[in-house]
Amino acid sequence: MTHQDDESTAALLAKARSGNREALATLFDSHAQRLLTSVRAELGERARQRLESQDVMQEVYLDALRSIDSFVDRGSDSFLAWLRRIAVNRICDVDRRHFRTRKRQGEARMGDLGTDDSMIGLLDVVSASMTTPSQAIDRTDRVRHLREALNRLDDDHRDVIRYRYLQQLSVAETAAKMDRSDRAIRSLCVRALIRLRELLADVL
For 13-54, what is each residue's pLDDT tens digit? 888 888 888 888 888 888 888 888 888 777 765 555 556 777
Tens digits of per-residue pLDDT, 93-135? Answer: 655 655 555 544 443 333 334 555 666 667 777 765 554 445 4
pTM over 0.85: no
CATH match of 1-106 with 3.40.50.2300: no
Just give the CATH number of 108-204. Answer: 1.10.10.10
Interatomic CA distance for residues 165 and 52, integer angstroms: 13
Residue 79 pLDDT greater than 80, yes or no? yes
Q: Please list the residue range(s) of the chain that carry CATH number 1.10.1740.10.
A: 1-106
CATH 1.10.10.10 residue ranges of the chain are 108-204
Q: What share of the chain is helix, strand, coil (3-state, %, to 5)?
A: 75, 0, 25
Confidence of residue 143 (pLDDT cuts 50, 70, 90): confident
